[in-house]
Amino acid sequence: MGWRFGGEREQRQSAAREGARYHGLALQSVTMDLLAGVPRGIFSLGLKLALLTAMVAPLAATASPLLIQNGDQAGESQPMLDRQWWVPPTPALSPQEALARFQLPPGYVIEAVATEPLVQDPVDVAWDAQGRLWVVEMNQLMLDADATDELEPNCNIVILSDEDGDGIFDKRKVFLDKLVLPRSICFVPGGVVAILPPQMVFLMDRDGDDVVDHRQVLADGMTAGLNNPEHAPNSLVLGMDNWLYVANHGRRYRQIQGKWVSEPSARGGQWGQSQDEWGRLAFNYNSSAVHVNVLPPTAAVRNPALGRSPGVNIATSSDRRVFPSRINPGVNRGYRKGTLREDGRLANLTGACGPTWFTGTGLAAEDRGRLFSCEPCANVVQRFDVHESAGNIKSTLMLEDGNPRLDFLTSSDERFRPVNLRVGPDGALYVVDLYRGILQHKVFMTSFLRRQTEERGLGDPTGLGRIWRIRHVDGKAAEPSTLAGLTPGGLIEQLSNTNAWQRRTAQRLLVEKGFEDPCSDCTELEDCNCFLFHLQALQGMDAGESKVGNPVSFVSRAHAMWTLDGLSSVPHGIIEEVPSQSLRRDLSIGPSIWRQQVLRKNEEYLDSREVLQTVASAPILDDPAYRWQLALTLGTSPLPEAVPALLNLSREHPQDKRLRDCILVGLVEREDDAIAYLLSQSPQHHWQQERQSTRELFQELSRCIMRRHRESDVLRLLQWATQLAPAWQGQAMLQGAVAGLPSSLPHKNYRFVHAQPMGLTTLAERLASGEDIGLNPKEVERLTTGIVWDGAPLPKVDQADLVAVANRGRQLYAQSCAACHQENGRGQRGLAPPLAGSEWLDLEDERLAEIALFGLSGPIEVAGEAYDLSMPGWSSYSDEELAAILTYIKKEWSSEPKLIPAAMVAEVRAQGPPQ
């Protein structure tokens, strides 16, 4: 295994002494080692103590005081558990030496395709149509434990090429230099998009000389990539639907009629994302290797009042174990019980990243469709088998037999840092190796890890990096490896390629050709590069027909369909899309995932009653995922007929809670119309019969109305609930209304100018008389007194100062807080609790400032849910900046908007962390 236990006293003592020179806390460990080194029976206890005093005193004299690190938590002990193991030396190895440290299952081969100095500090890669590898280099990241000079503009995006055709890159060309911590790059029609904090930019090279001719800012304010690189937008993916998706970011982007547009999309992921054959995204969090979207992330955020995002950000496995081939004491929380196994190996994920759906041909045939994920803290790449059933995707960690059992790819080299994975043009799996000692960013680094970093010399050298290729001896190299120069006809053929890289690149290039001016005098159809003469072949593929008469796979048909969609949005109007005449046929054949694509593609035409009727009357598969997508698609129709169509789906499948959420997404701002429809039915109708599922539907519709707090809708709801509705329906609506109220009342968003509805004034009397109204006394009080009616005064606030400070706080919050707590303040399960609706915002201002300055560790309870997490303090921010953030949070989500003074924050800072 590369390490051994017990003995090795001299090496342990040497390491202890070296650690003592850095931190006085190491003296206790030194003392224990020295005691262990004195044979029994030679000296008395007094002599032993005298000897120890003489030996330790020089160390104490030279020991530096321990500086508190950002990742340290007040009152938490960091015992030096690593002292119980002998940690083998970790010098930087040559690529050849590093190669010998890998372990893979039988039949798999790993080889270096690019190493330093050709590539340095790589974090992301992408291939262009010529087969060249573009590499994002984060050269300045954590050059030492203090991140010295991290924001110096010394990073690059480079282009690697294979000049002699041997499969190994041998030439480097700088595309962009003088960058600050670049994060990702992705090819899109007409150019590339890159995340260059604080911006995301679209770059064009019109003349092909690898020099930027045009630069357009698509998004600004991405400063988290500068001050908190572990929680910032990253990993660009051009989806099958022609939209550009960004991990850990709340929007998606696309070119329409030559202009870039964006729209909200569910935020997901921490570092890395990829897509499967059908464009479904996979991403990760540091302690959870693979999350997926089984439904489009844009649909999930259409109804903010719902407070849930159906079908997105789903963990595919609860298995957090990791199985490295070396000891791993150099992890940030290695001192905590359970972080490391008894043999010193990392027990569970702590730095998972770069999840990749394998869609190539270069590994074993059974690897197709499996998921791979990196864990650089353990120096491994994991492999997961994927199972899809009842609309959900689950994954199972695959381990290699042996003693001990190991992950798919392991290395005994501590500096092997796999941070990203990609499937290449040849169908192989590529590993982006940051190759370095320091991995943890200073924002979260603990004293425990810093001590190890310095003791073991992990800070040097820097400027290294490798790109590794993994293939299987029985794998098939995909062809062609370059699509540059292919005619539109040749690119259309590539939409049927077995390897996903060729299909996706061909789709992108076909859409890109739509940006070109079509010619007008073509005579040879096969040889002409004008796209107009190849539309028929593309449309035929969309319909399932190929030029040579062979059947077309449904995934290839999907690429053709989305290519036509992309061409409908180009500036020249090369194709004018209309609802497909074969829509009814397309919704009646093929697998569920194909029909889901058809539904999504035709959403833009659902303002047509004919199209709405076709979609609503299509055969409904016995597949939950299809029904979920059908609900989301029906919900995009603005027609009133869509409301009963959506409700009928719930009637047929009353126990499917995700389906109900998808219906509620579609009923956004039409919940009152839905209730009106339900109440209008005859007494014998399904909706008039009391069932648990129907009660829950009324409750959820009412909750959404109350959460949106539009006064006219709230008045209508309460009038229905208290005066018009039958007993059980009124109870359900009242229960939903109470559930939709914020946790703290009165609240600024629940001040209404009208008089209180008459029915509310009698609720307490009805309850006292013994009538079952569905609420208890406390709930009645919340509903009747918690809402401010008829202009009741709110706490006075200097509005001018409040707005100005809160606007500054909004910017700072987006930079450093939104990555975890989200822009809407709803938090992320397993990562951060919500701020919106949190009773914690009602704490004293000093306590809030204390949390912001010094952090907070669980377990805690927020909005009725338990959280056992850790939040670092943000003492690096000034008093004014923290005051602005707190002012924004109070204004946005508390019941009492309040200007937080910087002087108060300064006083709390001066008092220091709580003891």
pLDDT score, position 896: 77
Q: What are phi and psi of 550, to 5 degrees?
A: -80, 150
d(CA 854, CA 915): 11
Nearest CA among 628, 629, 775 for reference residue 702: 775
For residue range 251-305, list pLDDT tens digits in order. Answer: 999 999 889 999 999 989 999 999 999 999 999 999 999 999 999 999 988 998 9
Which SS3 state, helix, strand or coil, does residue 255 take? strand
Does the structure show a pLDDT above 50 at 195?
A: yes
Which contiguous run of DSSP H or E holds residue 906? helix 902-911
Contact 174, 224 (CB under 8 A): no
pLDDT score, position 349: 96
The rounded percent of the chain whose pLDDT value lies above 90 is 56
d(CA 456, CA 143): 15
d(CA 240, CA 238): 7
Contact 379, 417 (CB under 8 A): yes
Does the structure show a pLDDT above 50 at 52?
A: no
pLDDT score, position 515: 67
d(CA 820, CA 248): 9
d(CA 874, CA 851): 9
CA distances from 673 to 118, 167, 636, 698 (A): 63, 62, 15, 12
Kindly give, in sequence order, each residue whose CB lies less than 8 Å from that of residue 586, ignoring residues fewer than 6 positions away: 580, 594, 595, 598
Backbone CA torsion sign across 595, 597, 598, 602 = positive
Does the structure show a pLDDT above 80 at 204?
A: yes
| 801 band by pLDDT with thresholds 50, 70 and 90 | low
Does the structure show a pLDDT above 80 at 795?
A: no
Task: For tokens 């994991």, name the residue.
Answer: 382
pLDDT score, position 11: 35
d(CA 805, CA 886): 10
d(CA 512, CA 510): 5
| 4 band by pLDDT with thresholds 50, 70 and 90 | very low
For residue range 844-855, list pLDDT tens digits in order. Answer: 899 999 999 988
Contact 200, 219 (CB under 8 A): yes
Contact 3, 327 (CB under 8 A): yes
What is the CA angle 529-531-536, rounded to 5?
125
Residue scoring higher pLDDT (824 or 378): 378
Q: Name the amino acid, one letter, at 659.
A: L
- Using a 10 angstrom Cβ sphere, with 0-12 exposed, 13-18 middle and 19 or more buried, the burial of residue 561 is buried
Nearest CA among 314, 331, 313 for reference residue 322: 331
Does the structure show a pLDDT above 60 at 587?
A: yes
For residue range 488-499, list pLDDT tens digits in order. Answer: 889 999 999 999
Does the structure show a pLDDT above 60 at 28?
A: no
Strand arrangement, sheet containing 234-238 = 234-238, 244-247, 251-256, 259-264
Nearest CA among 183, 203, 100 for reference residue 136: 183
Average pLDDT rounded to a whole number, residues 61-75: 65
Does the structure show a pLDDT above 80 at 819?
A: no
pLDDT score, position 861: 86
For residue range 698-720, list pLDDT tens digits in order. Answer: 999 999 999 998 888 998 899 88
| 548 band by pLDDT with thresholds 50, 70 and 90 | low
Q: What are phi and psi of 525, to 5 degrees?
A: -65, -40
d(CA 316, CA 204): 38
Q: Is 6 left (phi over 0), alpha (psi -120 to 50) or beta?
A: left
Does the structure show a pLDDT above 80 at 796?
A: no
- Provide the 10 A C-beta neighbour count for residue 887: 26
Nearest CA among 420, 402, 404 for reference residue 105: 402
Average per-residue pLDDT for the chain: 85
For residue range 512-546, list pLDDT tens digits in order. Answer: 987 665 555 554 544 555 555 567 778 778 777 76
Q: Name the amino acid, one letter, at 499.
A: N
pLDDT score, position 181: 97
Considering 47-51, 280-284, 509-513, 902-906, the range whose residues carry the highest mean pLDDT is 280-284
Q: Which of 98-107, 293-302, 615-624, 796-805 has the lowest mean pLDDT?
A: 796-805
pLDDT score, position 9: 35
For residue range 388-437, list pLDDT tens digits in order. Answer: 998 999 999 999 887 789 999 999 999 999 999 999 999 999 999 999 99
Q: Which of 24-38, 109-123, 143-157, 361-375 has the lowest mean pLDDT?
A: 24-38
| 67 band by pLDDT with thresholds 50, 70 and 90 | low
pLDDT score, position 25: 37
pLDDT score, position 520: 53
Nearest CA among 539, 428, 536, 438 for reference residue 473: 428
H helices within 124-249, ranges in order?
224-227
| 734 band by pLDDT with thresholds 50, 70 and 90 | very high
| 107 band by pLDDT with thresholds 50, 70 and 90 | very high
pLDDT score, position 547: 58
